[in-house]
Amino acid sequence: MGTGGHPPGLGVIRRRLPAAAAVLAVGIGACVGAGVLPLVPIPASMAADASVELVLTAGSGLVRPGEDLVITGSVSNLAAAPLPASTLSLGVSESRLDRGELSAALGDPGAADTEQVGDVAVPALPAGTSADVTFTVPAALASELLDGSGWGAHVVTGQVRADQADLAAATAGFAWLEGTAPPTLGVATVIPLTTPAVTDALLDAEALEAYTAVGGALRKKLEAGISSGAALALDPRILASIRALGANAPASAIEWLQELDGASNVVFPLGYGDADLSLERGAGAGGLLGPISFDEALDPADFADGDGGTQTSPTPSPTETPDPAESGTPTPTPTTGAVPTTEELLAWDYSATDLAWPVAVRPGDTAFYAASGLSRTLVPSDSLAEGGSGASSGVVEGGTAIVVDSALSTAVSEAAFAGNDADRRHATATAVALLAATAETTPGGSVAVALSRSWPSSTANLAATLDTIATVGWTGIVPLDSIPASDAALSLSPVGDDPRREATAQLLTDEGDIAAFSSVLTDPAILVARERLRLLPLLSVQWLDFRDAWTTAAGELHASYDQVLHAVSISPTNVVALGAFDSVPVYVQNDLDLPVTIQLDGRPSNGRLLVEPTTATIAPQSSLRVYLPARSIANGRVTLYLSAASPSGVPVGSPASLTLDVQAEWETAGLIAVGGLVVLLFGVGLFRYRRRRRRARDAEETAAGEVDAERMADAGVDAG
């Protein structure tokens, strides 16, 4: 909406600025010189391409009667051209905003109805520079604007204009603490214990040491989680990676694992490698995917003196085919010097093993999770119709849902992982305002806040941010499991198809083909398990921030899978001559690092050659000449079509063909000729014999007939 000449989308700002009512200051940063800056025209595309950025913050997010309202922020020129001097107009909403109104205003400054409180002159900005701004609304003016609105959420809006062009707009939220706060809002927080996007199924010692050392991201997250009582979502890859190093595991990683073991927090497992569960279902997985075996990744020498910090009384994390009945069943701790099993590498004493945490929920997802033993789902509110209408729990497609407040989670995450103070203050104030509006909308209710799964640029503000959430005065930290269940039906909102789905589906098809191909091995599980470990890292949520890199990695893995499927091949060869009872030599190449056993067969193009199949075992990364038993029938050219299969009959590699010049030897031809002559002579003799017999029989019959006739004639005479 817009009035007074303001275009739509920039909101209503009514002017209300008594003389000397505000104190303002502006400073220019990013290496702007002290000299006089020339006035330059605004490029026509500047407003359209978002080349000017405005960020605002309303103090700490908490404003009380009798206190000044200090508005800070920055104006940045992101364009390649200089920006002329401009004006920042600031406004404050007089009316208290409910959660829906606040969310709308934060998402679109044009949705806010504000009273103008002042203008700030912004100097000309060379390309790539920014100016910090500060504007103070005195306590008297703040009270005049906000008194009577009651305890609740408000916003500050700002608009940057130059030469009658609107360049940028922004909104910042804050809580006006007048009167009595609503009943305490229960806040359940979830902190992901994850690592960055990599293509490795196991993390190396150097990475683990960096993440778990003092100041490392995993260390800071665990410390903040323990101090705040947050639920901890643990990537099992961290456990497996530490334990797989055995005696070479960094001391900081083992200490970190021990601290996690001693924590009283709710701890639940993520998919291996922080897998994107919705992506797995969308790509056609039959169930949640997990490691099959780590045997090939382990070095027995690493376990000569220790087991790498294995925890006692662990429970297995969900895998592709979990057994819910086994949840909570202790797993034996490996003895010193023993190479741990896959189950031991992944085992942990989880507080809950029935939680799924997808980044988005699409139709059919919750049933897929439930089939794998995950009966409860943390559902982002932005996956629900109308954001779930403020519900903290409910039922989605028949499955139990705990609703994660997406907007609040984003604000808290931006504050916790901010790389600079300005971004931290802005996000913190926004989170405070959202908490205030939520408390007003659902008095005495609960809300779930999940921190971003993306790898943070900084964790320096994590603990302070969680402390702010807990101490604003109207919130209380509660365990995740304390959010009451509800049977209210929640509808999913339309969510676009994941652009990674098609490529992931191809990788799953490749994996299925490799499982069939692996029947050429004595132990097929070796190859299947190894290739599964190469697939799992690419299913990670962490890749969402690196789409191009993921596409490249997925393409490379597909090409590698194709090489595995064609690792056993028949080399084309032409044989000039083949004797009557010679075998056909066929060269078979095995590029795998494992021995393979195949059944080689040939199909001749004509009847000049008879071929029998044979079985052969080819050593790793070698070629073997395999002989097909054959027998020549006649001279001439024959094309022999060759194919290989596993002992169970699964086709292996691509078919090939050989061109043979078959030379049947004279003995064979002579035998055939003599045999034919004998058959011919025997046939002629038999024919002549049968003809003589027939003639004799005919003569006898003729003579007998004549005798009978004479007798009949004689009998007639006597009668006469």
pLDDT in tens, 210-255: 999 999 999 999 999 999 999 999 999 999 999 999 999 999 999 9
Does residue 716 lie in a domain region? no
Please, which residues bridge with residue 450 across strands?
190
Q: How many C-beta neighbours within 10 Å does residue 617 have?
A: 13
Residues 176 and 192 both lie in one domain? no
Q: What is the pLDDT of residue 674?
A: 52
CA atoms within 13 A on the CB side of 373: 20
* Residue 54, strand partner residues: 75
567 neighbors 557 (Cβ within 8 angstroms)? no
The parent domain of residue 284 ranges over: 186-482
Which runs of E-coded beta strand occur in 385-473? 393-396, 399-404, 446-450
Q: How far is CA 81 from CA 122, 124, 379, 391, in A?
A: 16, 11, 44, 47
Q: Which is nearest to 661 in space by CA: 600, 605, 596?
A: 605
The structure's pTM equals: 0.82
pLDDT at 289: 96
φ/ψ (deg, to 5) at 380 = -60, 135
The set of residues, in sequence order, having a beta carbon less than 8 Å from that of 124 and lying 6+ positions away, is: 37, 38, 39, 40, 82, 83, 84, 85
Same domain, yes or no: 369 and 467: yes
Dihedral, CA atoms, 244, 248, 252, 253, nearest 10 degrees? 0
Q: Angle at which helices 524-535 and 501-517 pack, to 10 degrees?
A: 170
In whole angstroms, how far apart are CA 206 and each of 88, 203, 516?
A: 48, 8, 37
- From 532, 515, 530, select the one nearest 646 (Cα to Cα): 515
Only one residue has tokens 């305890």, namely: 151
The whole-number pLDDT of residue 49 equals 47
3-class DSSP state for residue 612?
coil
Q: How many domains does the chain have?
A: 4
Q: Which of 137, 125, 99 is nearest to 17 (CA)?
A: 137
Pairing between β-strand 185-193 and β-strand 475-477 as defined by DSSP bridges: parallel
CA 462 to chain centre: 26
**Residue 236, pLDDT score:** 98
* pLDDT (0 to 100) of residue 694: 72
Query: How many CB atoms neighbour CB 195 within 10 A?
Result: 23
436 in the same domain as 334: yes
Where the chain has pLDDT below 70, the residues are 1-50, 305-337, 574-581, 664-684, 686, 689, 696-720
| pLDDT value for 11 | 39
pLDDT at 46: 42
Residue 492 domain flag: no
Domain-embedded: residue 715: no
Domain identity same for 129 and 155: yes
Identify whether residues 333 and 458 lie together within a single domain: yes
The answer to whether 621 and 569 have CB atoms below 8 angstroms apart is no
CA atoms within 13 A on the CB side of 68: 12
Q: Domain for residue 695, yes or no?
A: no
The confidence score (pLDDT) of residue 701 equals: 65
∠ CA 6-8-9, nearest 5°, is 110
Q: What is the CATH number of the domain that holds 595?
A: 2.60.40.10
| Residues 423 and 327 placed together within one structural domain of the fold | yes
Which one of 180, 196, 228 terminates a domain? 180
In this predicted model, what pLDDT tens digit does every residue of 348-397 receive, in sequence order?
999 999 999 999 999 999 999 999 999 999 999 999 998 778 899 999 99
Specify whether the CB–CB gap between 565 and 649 falls below 8 A: no
If phi > 0 it is left, if psi is from -120 to 50 it is alpha, else beta; for residue 648 that is: alpha
Single out the residue of 154, 181, 167 nearest to residue 83, CA to CA.
167
579 and 560 share a domain?
no
Which residue shows structure tokens 């789902």?
A: 377
Tell whether 198 and 334 lie within a shared domain. yes
User: If you count them, how many residues does the chain have?
Assistant: 720
CB 113 within 8 A of CB 179: no
Does the residue 31 lie in any domain?
yes
